[in-house]
Each structure stands twice: as C-alpha cells, then as structure tokens.
Amino acid sequence: MDFFLSNLLNGISYGMILFLIAAGMSIVLGIMGITNLAHGSLYMIGAYIGWTIFVQLGMNFWLAVFAGAVVSGIIGLLIERIFLKHLYKQVNEQVLLTYGLVYITTNLVTWIWGGRYRLQFTAPELDMHTVNLGSFSFPLTRIVITIFGILVALILWYLQDKTRIGAIVRAGMDDKEMVQGLGINLELVSMAVFFVASFVAGLAGVIGAQLLSTYPGLGENVLLLTLAVIIVGGIGSIQGALVGGLLIGLIDNFGKALFPQYAMFTIYFAMIIVLLIKPSGLLGRSK
C-alpha cells in the first residue's frame, strides 16, 4: 500500500510540474499555431531567475517565484514580437528558429551562471518538512507543487472557458479571419496569450526547481517531456495539458518503480500508444 500511495502522490506532483510547463506551449501551439521549441528554455530561465533572487540574493522565495514568472513572460513576449510574429504559418522556420534560440539561451545561461548544477531550493518553511501518511512521510514541497498546479489549472481553465477573452481565444483557434472580421484585435490577444504562456513556464521553473534543481541543458531535457505531454493530452486545451501531464507523471513514476530496466522508455511507450489510438491526443480536437 505504501509503495502504491507514495508512487501515486509522487507521480501526481511530478505530473503537475509537467502540466505547468506544457500548458503554455499547448495553448500557444493550439491557438496561435506557433511551434515554440524555446518554451523549455523559458522554464529554465525562470528557474535561474528564481535561484538568483532566493539563493544568491537571499530574498523571499515567493518573490523569487513571481520574479521568475515575470522575467520569463517578458522574454517570451520579446521572442514573439521580434521573431515569431514574422513567421505566421511557417512551421519549419518556427522550429528552426526556436531551436536555435534553445542553443543561444543554454549558452547565455552558462555564460551568466556557469555550467554548474544549482541544487534544488525551496522556501525555509517547506525545506525538509514532511507530512506523515500512515507509515511513510511525504515531502511538503511536493504537496505545494501539487496545490500550485491545481490552482494554475483552475485559473487557466476559468480564463479559457468562462471569460470573454477565453471565448475570443477559442474562436481565434477555429477561425482567425472571422474573429478579425468582427473587429477584434487578435494580435493583441495573441500577445497576451504568449505572455501568459511564458509567465506560467517561468513560474513552473521556480516551483519545479524545488524538486528538479536547475542547470544549463535543463531546457532541452524539459522540452522532450513537454512534447510527450502535449502529444498524449492533446493540443490547445488546459484540460488536455493537465490530463497529459498527470498521465505522463504517473506512467513515469510507476514505470521506473516497476520496470527500472526500461526507465528511459516508459513515457515514450505511452506516446506511441496514444498516437496509434488517438493521434490528436486524448483530449485533443480531431480535425
């Protein structure tokens, strides 16, 4: 029972980090049709900003979370304004350009912060504190990660499904020209979506650093996982990113625990199965 419970809870908390990273990329890809492979780098930048604020400057952890999110949001917006807005519907060029940005950000991060792994960090009130669940203990940091993930999911879902702006975003996903014909400034909406997506990625970076630490190359490692989540969950919806994140998190945890010799492949098995059964993803929109 302990084995099952600990892996279930670990899988959910890890899955929440994956959701936080993937949500933004899924929305941007689904709504704006932009393939931004530098999304993982925004996660990494958020983590480094958080490290600088909290570990290096000794300031408040929650301030570090906010700062990481804001900086990543701004950088994401700059990427969209300077580069990506000129490559509308040019998928190949988007892929090449954003993958080039991955290399640039990795080297910039190495230049600024050095190549050394930065150890995981968390608020003092959470550090090494655990909650007793029967005969085993569960770290408080993972509970906080899970709560954060749920809160962000609720906020984004509310924005997406229950607000006018969300309706515009969803309509724009289906028919851009019609939405623009109604006099809606879709470009402004797209900028706002890109900022929010990058903001959430940066926030995920600091929250995730409690578990995963941060280092140059984190962006590329995270990108693979993000793509797996999007493929499994489906593109363009918060629900899809959440389901995908949780599923990948649980499969990864239980897979490694039960079949450690296949630890490197378990999530890719899940991807292959989903692609065979439902190529648009579990909650993706079929064409």
Partner 1 sequence: MKKVCYILSLIMISTLVLTACGAQPTAAPTSPPTVAPKEVIKIGGLLDFTGPVADLGPKFQAGIELALEEVNYTVAGHKIELLVEDTATSVDVAVEKFKKLADADDVKIFIGPLMGDAHLAISPLAKEKNVLITSLINGMYQTVPDGHYLIYPTTVDAQTYPFGQYAYDTLGYKSAVVVAADYAGKRGYAAGFIEGFKASGGTIVQEIYTPLGSPDYSPFISTIKEADVVMYALEGPGPVARFITQFKQTGRTTPMITITQDGDYTPEALAELKDVALGIKGESSYTWMLDNPENKNFVEGIKAKTGKVPSSSEQNAYTLTKVILAGLEKTDGDVSFDKLFPAITSLKMNTPAGSLSFGPEGIAITPMYVTEAVKVGDVYQISAPLFTVDQVFDVRVKP
Residue in 225, 24, 215 with CA at minimum distance from that of residue 106: 215
- Are 211 and 145 spatial neighbours (Cβ–Cβ below 8 Å)? yes
Q: How far is 197 from 76, CA to CA, in rounded Å?
A: 8
CA 116 to chain centre: 23
Q: Is 256 in the site for partner 1 (CB under 8 A)?
A: yes
Q: How far is 179 from 193, CA to CA, in rounded Å?
A: 16
**Contact stretch for partner 1 (CB under 8 A) within 155-163, 183-191, 236-244, 254-262:** 254-262
**Contact stretch for partner 1 (CB under 8 A) within 25-33, 188-196, 213-221, 226-234:** 213-221
Residue 204 burial (C-beta neighbours within 10 Å; 0-12, 13-18, 19+): buried
CB of 98 to partner 1, least distance (A): 20
Q: Is 254 in the site for partner 1 (CB under 8 A)?
A: yes
Instruction: Count CB neighbours of 48 within 10 A.
Output: 27
Q: Is 104 in the site for partner 1 (CB under 8 A)?
A: no
Contact with partner 1 (CB under 8 A) among 100, 114, 124, 279: 114
**Contact stretch for partner 1 (CB under 8 A) within 23-31, 39-47, 212-220, 226-234:** 212-220
Q: Is 255 in the site for partner 1 (CB under 8 A)?
A: yes
In the complex with partner 1, the residue whose CB is nearer, 59 or 78, is 59
- Are 17 and 204 spatial neighbours (Cβ–Cβ below 8 Å)? yes
**Contact stretch for partner 1 (CB under 8 A) within 5-13, 145-153, 187-195, 271-279:** 5-13
What Å distances lie between residue 110 and 100, 118, 132, CA to CA?
16, 12, 39
Q: How far is 24 from 197, CA to CA, in rounded Å?
A: 4
Question: Contacts with partner 1 in 124-153 (CB under 8 A)?
Answer: 128, 130, 132, 136-139, 141
Question: Contacts with partner 1 in 13-72 (CB under 8 A)?
Answer: 14, 55
* Phi, psi angles (nearest 5°) of residue 32: -95, -10
Residue-level length of the chain? 287
CB of 210 to partner 1, least distance (A): 10
Q: How far is 23 from 239, CA to CA, in rounded Å?
A: 9
In the complex with partner 1, the residue whose CB is nearer, 117 or 158, is 117
Interacting residues with partner 1 (CB under 8 A): 3, 6-7, 10, 14, 55, 106, 110, 114-120, 128, 130, 132, 136-139, 141, 211-213, 215-217, 221, 252-257, 260-261, 263-264
